[in-house]
Chain A
Amino acid sequence: MQPKNIHNLFNDFIDDHLCFVYRGSFSNKTVTNLTNLVVGSLDDVSGFVSLRNRLSFLMIESIQNIAKHGDKSEDKSGGEGFFLTRNVGNTFFITTANVMEGENVSALREILEKVNTAADKNELKNLYVTVLTDKKISDKGGAGLGLIEMARKTEQKLEFDFVPLDEKNSLFYLQLRIMNKKALENPDVEPSIPISVARNFYERSCKDDFVMLHRGSFSEDVIFPVLNMVEHDMLRHALSIQKKMFFVLVELLQNISKHSYIKNGEREGIFVMGQRTNQYILATGNYIHNSEVELLKNQLVQINGVEKAQLKDLYRELLREETETISENAGLGLIDIARESKEKLLFDFYPVNSEISFFSIVTTL
């Protein structure tokens, strides 16, 4: 993963107020962390504060669909799958993907089509009761009921797709659309993001090895659910790796929430986590004022030019210094990141306009 990939990802979701992607195993804790993250970042202007409960419900329901029905690897506590949520305009999209047995596809498709052809709330309710009492379906764990609930709560058609993986398995994509009051008043101007966009993105996340992406406004409190997510994900690793990750992550995220350029009252940024065998990649990107580019660049070049052992000396020196200018504090954070990185820091700056640039940094652990 290169700084330019982070810049591209940031721009791919440029219209999103919030975008969160997670690929991996889904435990109950993951569900809680994810809903906290999304619901916690809703602000008054989003028009979704009053829909908070409905959003949580729908997120939980779709993630539990993965947890229950997704393919379970032996070493994982929950099911494996993919989750993507985006808030664009006045619409929220929740997309999930999980592996299922190909032989169950036609039955699931049938339920989905029934749900989508139900003319109104009443018909959905009747369908709900039918499925509830149908013994044939109920022993499948009630997948059908969840889907009907989703349709009732979103009041929109369920979008879905099945992609055969091999002779036995298929990938099942499901996308929910939740519109707030403004969107319902004027649905024609709302973004129409087809499910294929999420599908392409899932394939890209597999190809580029990234497991988490968060794009949105980074305030001090928004970063905590992200920290919780990563922390929970790292529990299966040795303590020292967990600690390294956390130390680096805190510095990276707080670099955005403390030092990034405030545009329209928000500190917009992106965090991406990648995973390869024995290797984690943590990357962030955010706007900075053009007048700060030179200083930051010099600091990073200096840090990259120093050997690991010397970095520690540099760190100690800065710790002892009495003065506390903002740039020095930022410098200490960057050294913190560099000393735990396996490789030199990768970074770049992309001019946006006469006032700001986009700064992106990639570290490997």
Chain B
Amino acid sequence: MNPIFLEKTKKSPKILLDKEKGLFEISGRSIQEDSAKFYTPIIEWIKEYAANPNPVTDFQFNLEYFNSSSAKLIVKILFELERILKTPNKINVTWIYEENDDVSKERGEEIASTVKLPFEMKAIPSTT
């Protein structure tokens, strides 16, 4: 599979999806207006990946901000990743947030509750 790498911008997140290296990361800000358009190729990639995943997948989210349309697509990504649960392979999702950032933590927990995936909440020291 060809990896996907997108640099983060002021409105869209960094995307790093590399099966060979085992790197799966979405980080930064996801506040683009047309989130569906932005995430379509990403969801396609994940669909393909979930059909033939690595023995272990550690998927990381480190989102500073995301708008409501992105939230919906993040859940969609997680739905696709849920397919891995039906295989003998392992999948783990890590939701990274800055300590003291109750809002991002709460949002992560909420998103976690919509899926059956193993979800780890991970606080990192605040940068500000």
Contact = CB atoms under 8 A, between A and B. Distances in A.
Interface of A: 220, 224, 235, 238-240, 243-244, 246-247, 250-251, 254, 257-258, 312, 315-316, 318-320, 324, 329, 332-333, 335-336, 340
A320 B128 contact: no
A239 B114 contact: no
A335 B72 CA distance: 13
For the complex of A and B, the 3 pairs showing the least CB-CB separation, nearest first, are A243-B103, A332-B68, A333-B68
Contact of A320 (B65, B67, B75): B75
B58 interface: no
Nearest to A330: B68
A78 to B, nearest CB: 19
Contacts of B89: none
A324 B72 contact: yes
B68 A240 contact: no
A243 B65 contact: yes
Contacts of B114: 316, 319-320
Nearest to B36: A324
Interface in B82-118: 98, 100-104, 110-111, 113-114
A31 to B, nearest CB: 19
Contacts of B113: 316
Interface in B51-98: 65, 67-69, 71-72, 75, 98
A235 B71 contact: no
A332 B68 CA distance: 6
A198 B100 CA distance: 41
Contacts, number: 65
29 contacts: A220-B11, A224-B10, A235-B128, A239-B98, A239-B100, A239-B101, A239-B126, A240-B100, A243-B101, A243-B104, A244-B103, A246-B65, A247-B65, A250-B31, A250-B65, A250-B67, A251-B67, A251-B68, A254-B67, A257-B33, A316-B110, A316-B113, A319-B71, A319-B75, A319-B111, A324-B72, A329-B72, A332-B69, A333-B67
B75 A336 contact: no
Contact of A238 (B36, B100, B111): B100
Interface string B25-38: 00000011100100
Given A239-B126, A247-B65, A332-B71, 18 more contacts: A220-B11, A220-B32, A224-B10, A224-B11, A235-B128, A239-B100, A240-B101, A243-B65, A250-B67, A251-B67, A254-B33, A254-B67, A316-B110, A316-B114, A324-B36, A332-B72, A333-B67, A336-B71
Interface string B10-47: 11000000000000000000011100100000000000
Contact of B68 (A220, A238, A320, A329): A329
Nearest to B100: A239
Q: Which of A250, A254, A319, A336 has the most CB of B within 10 A?
A: A319
Given A254-B33, A258-B33, A324-B36, A336 B100 contact: no
A269 to B, nearest CB: 14
A329 B11 CA distance: 18
A336 B104 CA distance: 13
